[in-house]
């Protein structure tokens, strides 16, 4: 796994997650459990849980990076 660890993510910060070739950009709105967060997609403004993005596994390209504000 490259990039940031899930435990280092912070509320109010923007991140990019890459997994199985899909790219998602989001802002963390709330911590809802151990290594799970309520997030808002920056492009669609949809709200979901971060674990929903990798519930089917983490690919070889799994990476989380902080976006510049």
Q: Which domains does the chain have, with CATH numbers?
A: 2-66 (2.30.30)
Q: pLDDT tens digit string along 5-56?
A: 999 999 999 999 999 999 999 999 999 988 899 999 999 999 999 999 999 9
Please state, in angstroms and rounded to a whole number, the distance separating the CA atoms of residues 50 and 38.
6
**Both tokens of residue 63?**
């990476």
**Both tokens of residue 59?**
């690919």
Question: What is the Cβ-side half-sphere exposure of residue 1, based on CA atoms within 13 angstroms?
Answer: 11
Predicted local distance difference test score (pLDDT) of residue 21: 93
Model confidence at 1: pLDDT above 80: no
DSSP H helical segments within the chain, as ranges? none
């Amino acid at each position: 796994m490259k990039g940031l660890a899930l435990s280092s993510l912070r509320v109010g910060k923007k991140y990019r997650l890459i997994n199985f070739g899909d790219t998602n950009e989001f802002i963390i709105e709330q911590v809802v459990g151990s290594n799970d967060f309520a997030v808002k997609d920056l492009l669609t403004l949809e709200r979901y849980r971060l674990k929903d993005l990798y519930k089917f596994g983490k690919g070889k390209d799994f990476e989380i990076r902080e976006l510049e504000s």
